[in-house]
Structures are given as structure tokens and as C-alpha cells.
Amino acid sequence: MKRQLAAALLALLAALPAAAREVTDMNGRRVEVPERIDRVFAAAPPLSVLLHALAPDKMVALSFAVAEPGKAFFPPRLLALPVGGGSFGSGAQMNAETVLGLRPDIALAWQNAFADRQKISDAFARTGVPVLFVKLDRLADWPAALRYTGRLLGREQTAEAQARYIEQALARLANFVDAVPEAKRPRVYYAEGPDGLATDCNRSFHTEAIELAGGYNVYRCMQKSIMGMERISLEQVIALDPEVIVTHERNFFAEVRRDPRWQQISAIRNGRVHLVPKWPHNWMDRPPSLMRALGAQWLASVFYPGDFRFARHADTRAFLQLFFAVAPDDAQIDRLFE
């Protein structure tokens, strides 16, 4: 009889609605969420990176598939997750069926200058999943975003350590760059696309790491869309004559130094073409994320060799331990730059 009563009581408790609380998101919206949050859907790639760093055990999907070279930097649980897409970014775009099938307690959406917040809110309203906007435009937004999400998910201690790292990295970079006159900063071209003839404005969050590192982005304009990658001609690049080229396009990086059409450019003639590491997430862009705290320091050492200290093995390992709980050996780190 006691067992029957206990079973009946458990069934009754399970049928009761979960305890809820009201929180305010980073857009000022008041949202009711469960008291205990165990399953979180990241509705954009930067938020997938945030959860990977802060609460990987609570993720229900990835925003993008992980290529083979990156798998060593992800725990097996994350590699087994479905690619859920999001309201922005690569992968399948969000739909109600996908979200409901993942059974999230909440969803996190990317608040940025180009986000249609009403449209995103309406899309999640159809699923019944509470959605909270997290502001993630510039790297300087990330400490507050980490602390906010840490409080929300009960990861305050981890969030505080990660937020402080980013603040200290920004301060270190600013102190170094402020001492360099703009006229003496290296002229940098960000080469995107298979042919290297797409790029992003100096006022874009896609290229923020260049400016943080003390580079002068030669493509001067305002960001026009969330995706960026504006087309540019080779003649324009030749006229801009950058001293340094950075790219995350491996095929372009392999071919451009042998391409006679690019030989008129100072960066090519002087061998100053640099491949941006991509794992566990792109160090600079695609998506623009907290990885910029590491990537901008590496770029500063590229732009100012011998003047800005970046210990490739030690600094990379310390960052990856803090943010992703992985400690690659020297050989694994070297492969990130190949």
C-alpha cells in the first residue's frame, strides 16, 4: 500500500506545472522561464559558442556541424547533438517542429543591430518555448552576456572567470594599440570567399579583431548586413595595396601566393599572408564570438612581431582550458596554424 501511495504521489507531482520565475532579458523583455533550466536551444551560431563555453551539458543542438579537424576540441556529447540551425547563421534555419522536437526549456536568441526581434519573438511564440535575447555585437558585449547567462543557468563562477579573461584581454590590447599612431598601423585586407574577393567593412563585427589587434582595415565602410562578405574586385585590392592579408579560406591561402595576379600586392610580395585558426571555433569570425579574445591577441603578434607577446602554445592552451575544458598538446596547437 505504501508503494502504491508513493507512486501515486510521484505521478501527481509530475503532473503539476514546473515552478516558474520571471526574468528580464538583455533587450529589457520580461519573460517567464522554468525555475530549473536543463535544456537550452541556441538560436544563432554565436550563442552556440557561448553555451559550448559556459554550459555544454545544457545544449540540445549545435548551430553548425563540426568538421573532422575540430572534433578533438568538442566533448563526445556535443558531437552527438543534432544540428538545429537557428534564426540566423549556417545550417538549417529554425522551424517550430525542429525546436519542439529538441524539448528545450528556453531558447537564447542573438540581439544584434540587424536582428528582427519581433519576428524572432513571434517565431518562438508559435513553439511555446520562452526566448531570451542576449546582446552579442562586439567582443566588449561578451563579459556582460557571460555573466547574464551564468546567472540564468547557475554557472556564475565559470562565467565570472571567462568574463574577466575577456576584459583583461581587451585592456591589454587597448593599452598596446593606443600607443601606436594610426599612420604606423599595418594596412590589412580580410580575404573571404574561395577567390579572396569578398571582405567586410572596418565597422563590421566580422572584422573587429583586426582593429582590436591594431590593424588598419583597408576596406573603410559601415556594415550593411548581418552576413557581410561584400564583393570586391582584384583591381580594388591592388589599389588598396594592403601590407597584411588575413583569411580563414584554406584554399585561397594555399593558392594566392602562387597566383601571378596577386603579386602586385605588398602583402603577397613580403609573405605576410596569414591563415586564421578555425578550431574549436573560428578565432576571428564566422561566427564572431568570444574566440576574438584569443584571435585578436594572436593577430597583434602577427601585426607587430617581436613587440606584442603571444606565446602560441601556452596562451592558446590556457584559453582553451578556461573556455572549453580541453588542453591540447603542442602538436595539436601547431596543427591549428597549418
CATH classification (class only), 11-157 = alpha beta
Computed over every residue of the chain, the mean pLDDT equals 91
Look at the domain 173-336 and name its fold. Rossmann fold (3.40.50)
| pLDDT tops 80 at residue 95 | no
Q: For the chain, which residues make up each domain, given as ranges?
A: 11-157, 173-336
| pLDDT tops 90 at residue 101 | no
| pLDDT tops 60 at residue 16 | no
CA–CA dist 87, 58 (Å, integer): 19
CA dihedral 197, 47, 25, 135 (to 10 degrees): -30
Question: What integer pLDDT is reported at residue 115 of this predicted model?
Answer: 74
* pLDDT, greater one: 6 or 317: 317
Pairing of strands 230-231, 198-199: antiparallel
| pLDDT tops 50 at residue 6 | no
Listed in sequence order, the residues at least 6 apart from 119 whose beta carbon sits closer than 8 Å to its beta carbon are: none
The string of pLDDT tens digits covering residues 243-285 is: 999 999 999 999 998 999 999 999 999 999 999 999 999 999 9
As a whole-number percent, the residues of the chain with pLDDT over 90 amount to 79
| pLDDT tops 70 at residue 44 | yes
CA–CA dist 135, 138 (Å, integer): 9
Q: Do 11-157 and 173-336 share a fold?
A: yes
Question: What integer pLDDT is reported at residue 58 of this predicted model?
Answer: 98
* Residue (of 41, 29, 25, 17) closest to 105 by Cα position: 41
